[in-house]
Amino acid sequence: DPPAPAVLQVGQATVIKGREVTIPVTVTGNPGFAAMNFKIDYDKTRLKLTGFEDAGLTDWEVGINSGEKAAWLDEKNFSEDGPILTLKFTVLDNAEVGMAEIALTVLCAADLEEKDVLFDSVAGGVNVVERFPGDVDDNGIVNIVDALRLKKYLAGFSVEINSFNADVNGDDTADALDL
């Protein structure tokens, strides 16, 4: 029996229109590869691929606004599981709310002996939203710091808040009920 294919997984995020987002690409079940080339397909009505960062592997080449493919090559097999690349997208200002899919199609993957390495790909994407309820400090993350910021604001401290996001209960005001 041939070995089960390794899996390339595209991450997911929830992002407000007009913001930048980084989406990780991870590998699991990695038997080891020394070369990889894949095509990046995504919803161009909602997203724009604007950059990339190495993650786990270094020396990627990614065609930004020019074919939108990624290529990696090394003189030894990479056999670890985990993040291998981070793709940067901008969510378009006029993006429709909802899921913008990001999918990868592996064009070629081979090990150091030049044998094909099989990969399945699992799509991910960006859930485009109008606002991010609870993200009081407007950093794209909802956590306890947002509650602290709102509490400071309500107590009269001079702190910046995103009042649209601070209105968690949707009654058009940021108040103690939103805490």
Helices (H) and strands (E) in the chain, counts: 2, 11
Beta pairing partners, 133: none
Q: Please compute, for residue 17, the number of CA atoms within 13 A of its CA located in the half-sphere on the CB side.
A: 12
What distances in angstroms separate CA 114 from CA 36, 75, 102, 110, one per listed residue? 11, 11, 28, 5
Give the per-residue pLDDT at 149: 95
pLDDT in tens, 85-135: 999 999 999 999 999 999 999 999 999 999 999 999 999 999 998 888 888
pLDDT in tens, 20-75: 999 999 999 999 999 999 999 999 999 999 999 998 889 999 999 888 999 999 99
Are 126 and 91 within 8 A, CB to CB? yes
Instruction: Say how far apart CA 106 and CA 128 lie, in whole Å.
Output: 26
Beta pairing partners, 124: 102
CB within 8 A of 35, min separation 6: which ones? 72, 73, 74, 108, 109, 110
> pTM for the complete prediction?
0.80
